[in-house]
Amino acid sequence: MIEESFDIALDVHLLPYKLLKAGNLTCIYEAGNLRYIKCGSTEIVRMIYGAVRNESWDTIVPEITNEIVDAGDDGFYIGYIALYNFNGIQYSANFVIEGKADSSISITMHGLALSDFKKNRIGLCVLHPLKETKGKPATIVEPSGDVYTAAFPELVSPDQPFKEIQQMQWKPAEAMTAKLYFSGDIFETEDQRNWSDSSFKTYSTPQRIPFPVVVKKGDKMQQKIVLTVSGNSNPAVEKRPSTKIEVPTNTTSKIGYSMRLEQIALTGKQEKFFNENNVHHYRTELYLDRAGWPQQLEKDVAIVAELGARLELVLFFADKYDETFQLLLQEIKPVVQYIDSVLLLDKKHAVTPAGLMEKGYGLMKAAFPSIKIGYGTDAYFAALNRNRPGSLPHDFVSFSLMPQAHASDIRTIIENLESLPDIMQTIQSFTNKAIHVSPVSIGKRINPDAVLETDYVITERDVREDSVFANDWKRLSVMGLHAAASVTIMQ
My answer on whether 183 and 216 are in the same domain is: yes
| pTM for this predicted structure | 0.93
Rounded Cα distance between 51 and 60, Å, is 7
Note the pLDDT of residue 263.
60
The answer to whether position 210 is within a domain reads: yes
221 and 343 both lie in a single domain: no
Give 336-363 pLDDT, tens digit per residue: 999 999 999 999 999 999 999 999 999 9
* pLDDT computed for residue 237 by the predictor: 46
* Distance between CA atoms of residues 391 and 383, nearest Å: 17
Identify any residues that bridge with 85 across adjacent strands, giving them in sequence order.
Answer: 90
423 located within any domain: yes
Question: φ, ψ for residue 285 (rounded to 5)?
Answer: -110, 130
Asked whether residue 148 carries a pLDDT value surpassing 60, the answer given is yes
Residues 23 and 98 in one domain: yes
Q: What is the CATH number of the domain that holds 369?
A: 3.20.20.80
Amino acid type, 383: A
Domain with 276, as residue range(s), is 254-490
The enclosing domain of 98 has a CATH number of 2.70.98.10
Q: d(Cα 362, Cα 121) in Å, to the nearest integer?
A: 43
Q: Are residues 17 and 119 in the same domain?
A: yes
Angle at 359 between CA 356 and CA 364, to 5 degrees: 110
If asked whether residues 191 and 279 sit together in one domain, one would say no
Query: Looking at the 3D structure of the chain, how many domains does it have?
Result: 2
Judged against a pLDDT cut of 50, whether residue 239 lies above it is answered with no
* Amino acid occupying residue 369: P
In a domain, 248, yes or no: no
Q: Is 242 part of a structural domain of the chain?
A: no
- Summarize pLDDT for 103-143 with one digit per residue, the tens: 999 999 999 999 999 999 999 999 999 999 999 999 999 99
pLDDT of residue 360: 97
Q: What is the pLDDT of residues 40-82, one digit of tens each?
A: 999 999 999 999 999 999 999 999 999 999 999 999 999 999 9
For residues 442 and 303, membership in a common domain is answered with: yes
Task: Specify if 333 maps to a domain.
Answer: yes
Confidence of residue 233 (pLDDT cuts 50, 70, 90): low
**Domain identity same for 260 and 216:** no
User: Does the N-terminal peptide bond of residue 139 adopt cis geometry, omega within 30 degrees of 0?
Assistant: no
- Judge if 69 and 12 occupy the same domain: yes
Find all residues with CB under 8 Å of 365, minimum gap 6, and list them: 371, 373, 393
**Contact at 8 Å (CB) between 351 and 359?**
no
Please report whether residue 247 resides in a domain: no
Look at residue 237 and tell me if it is in a domain. Answer: no
403-450 pLDDT tens trace = 999 999 999 999 999 999 999 999 999 999 999 999 999 999 999 999
Identify which has the larger pLDDT, 76 or 5: 76
pLDDT value for 6:
52
What's residue 234's pLDDT? Answer: 60
